[in-house]
Structure 1
Amino acid sequence: MIRVVLTCLLAVAIAGVAFPAADAARADATTVKIGTMADELAHASATLATTEDPTPAGVAGAQRHIVLTVPSGSWRAAGVSRLSIRGGDGVELTATTSSGPTVVRRVGGPRVRVVGERLVLGPGQHRLKLTLASDTDGSVVVIAPAHADSSVA
């Protein structure tokens, strides 16, 4: 009987140590994923801005399409309940994880404007359209949701 009690106590102690470590590893994996998405978006914006010329207002500019997969949660990564994309001099991704912590990643690059000031995405796959435009301050990459009939390049 004592062996059973000691075995149960040992199992509870091990679980008490293992579960927080697993949660920390999942949070770290999500942080890396958000950073990778920010890098991909910044790279696509920079490539578009450096390889194409902006068009005058009212004329469709050069475009790129990108697919972002917002983690929904698994044994390897914490779920993201909301991902916000903001522009500026580069891009900023802010992810609110389902476990509570917020992850913010900012990557510099060309001037970026997001349709509607910020774009909010939930878990799953999202297709975005990047368009090179021109305004009074020069060229700007505009990020908007891509329509379902758009092709991904």
Structure 2
Amino acid sequence: MIRVVLTCLLTVAIAGVAFPAVDAARADATTVAVGTMADDIAHAAASLATTEDPPPTGLAGARRHVVLDVPSGSWRASGVSRLTIRGGDGVELAATTASGTTIVRRVGGPRVHVVGERLVFGPGEQRLRLTLAANTAGPVVVVAPA
């Protein structure tokens, strides 16, 4: 009987130490995933702005497509309940996790205009279309859902 009680106590103690570490690792994996998504968008925008010419007024410009895999929650990463994309001089991603914490990642680059001033996505695979456009201030990359 004493062995059973000691085994149960040891199991609870080990679980008490392991679960916070697992949650921290999941949060870190989600932070890395958000950073990678921001880098992917910024890289595609920079590629458009540096390798393509802005189109004449009224014509569609060069395009790139980016696929984002927003974590839905697993043993490896915390779930993201909402991913917000904003533009400016570069791109900003803000991910709100299921636990309520917000992860913000900003990557500089060419001027980015997001359709509707911001895009909001839920978990799962999301597709974006980046289009090079001409503006009076120079080239701008327009981000819209694909």
Q: Same fold (TM over 0.5)?
A: yes
**Which residue identity lines up with residue 3 of structure 1 in the other structure?**
R
Q: Once the two structures are superposed, what CA deviation does each residue of 1:55-104 show, in whole Å capped at 9, x if it has no partner?
A: 23321111111111101011111111010000000000000011221110
* 1:34 counterpart = 2:34: yes
Match of 1:149 in 2: none
Q: Write the mapping of 1:1-153 to structure 2, written as runs, cut at 5 A.
A: 1-146=1-146
**Which residue identity lines up with residue 52 of structure 1 in the other structure?**
E
Return 68-77 or 2-11, whichever deviates more.
Answer: 2-11
Per the TM alignment, residue 127 of structure 1 is displaced from its structure 2 partner at its CA by: 1.0
How many aligned positions are there?
146
Q: Work out the CA distance in 2 between the residues paired with 1:100 and 1:9.
A: 32
Q: Once the two structures are superposed, what CA deviation does each residue of 1:115-149 show, in whole Å capped at 9, x if it has no partner?
A: 00000011011111000001221110000001xxx
Q: Once the two structures are superposed, what CA deviation does each residue of 1:30-65 show, in whole Å capped at 9, x if it has no partner?
A: 100110111110000000000111123321111111
User: Structure 1 unaligned runs (5+)?
Assistant: 147-153
- 3-state SS of the aligned residue for 2:3? helix
**Which residue identity lines up with residue 61 of structure 2 in the other structure?**
G
TM-score in terms of structure 1 length: 0.93
- 3-state SS of the aligned residue for 2:110? strand
Identity %: 79
- 3-state SS of the aligned residue for 1:3? helix
TM-score in terms of structure 2 length: 0.97
**Which residue identity lines up with residue 60 of structure 2 in the other structure?**
A
**Which residue identity lines up with residue 142 of structure 2 in the other structure?**
V
Return 53-62 or 97-106, whichever deviates more.
Answer: 53-62
- 3-state SS of the aligned residue for 1:78? coil
Q: Work out the CA distance in 2 between the residues paired with 1:134 and 1:13.
A: 62
